[in-house]
Amino acid sequence: MKNLIAAAALAAVSAVTGTAASAAYISFSQDRGWTTGGLSFGNGTQSVTVSSGVVGAQGMITAGGNIRSYAGHGLAICSGVLGNGCSGDAHYIDGNGAKEAAVLDFGNLIVQIQRIQFTHVDNDDTFSLGVYGNGLATAPTDSLVNKGLPNGSWSTWSSLLSVQSGSVFGIAALNGTDDFKIRKIKFKVLGEQAAPPPSAVPLPAGGVLLLSGFGVAALMRRRKKA
């Protein structure tokens, strides 16, 4: 009986969201040049827009810096001056000076990030992962701060992230010794955000007068019949 109830509940959730829970990957290892805007990546089914930000007080993120992806390496952020490269700042996501963050926006998808693949990793690198359900200018609704990267190898996966689901995430370097690139993510699609209900369209003033006229005419006909 319990199994039937659980199955019915899952079916109800799927019917509401329109998307069954599933695991997927998106790679950031294509060669894309520096931009102050966002870079779009996809896997043929889902997509995410990635932009650069700076972490401030209470984990809040504000827009800032430039972002790019290196072929075979992944995402990097430049908080310095752009010329032929990135001047005055390492071409990583790093916490030396500005605490840089890659902001991942999945649009109307509700997802849970399960694993992140990093490159250019040292033994002293850590990262933080935050969910920004109330917008970047607010503290994260859930976060995992200063999680150490395993093995200290040049390329490594970090798993067991255990953060809540959401649509906007920040992957940041908070310590001065943190510097890395992000090459790939694995995530689970939980559903879609419900579209807001359509707002009531106010009737034009002329329409109100027209309806009033119909009411008066109907009343006059009733009086004549009486």
Is 217 a domain residue? no
47 backbone dihedrals φ, ψ, rounded to 5°:
-145, 160
Q: How many residues does the chain have?
A: 226
pLDDT per residue, tens digit, the chain (226 aa), is 434 444 444 344 443 344 557 799 999 999 999 999 999 999 999 999 999 999 999 999 999 999 999 999 999 999 888 876 787 788 899 999 999 999 999 999 999 999 999 999 998 999 999 999 999 999 999 999 999 998 778 999 999 898 999 999 999 999 999 999 999 999 999 999 876 667 666 656 655 444 455 454 554 555 555 5
Domain count, the chain: 1
The domain containing residue 178 runs over which residues? Answer: 11-192
Is 2 a domain residue? no
Alpha-carbon distances of 106 from 41, 165, 212, rounded to whole Å? 10, 11, 49
CA distance 197 to 172: 35
- Is residue 19 within 8 Å of 188, Cβ to Cβ? no
- 3-state secondary structure (DSSP) of residue 39: strand
What's the pTM?
0.78
One-letter identity of residue 52: S
Is 132 a domain residue? yes
Place of tokens 């963050």: 101
- Is residue 155 within 8 Å of 71, Cβ to Cβ? no
- 3-state secondary structure (DSSP) of residue 156: strand
Is 45 a domain residue? yes
CB atoms within 10 A of CB 142: 15
CA distance 156 to 178: 15
CATH of the domain at 60: 2.60.120
Is 152 a domain residue? yes
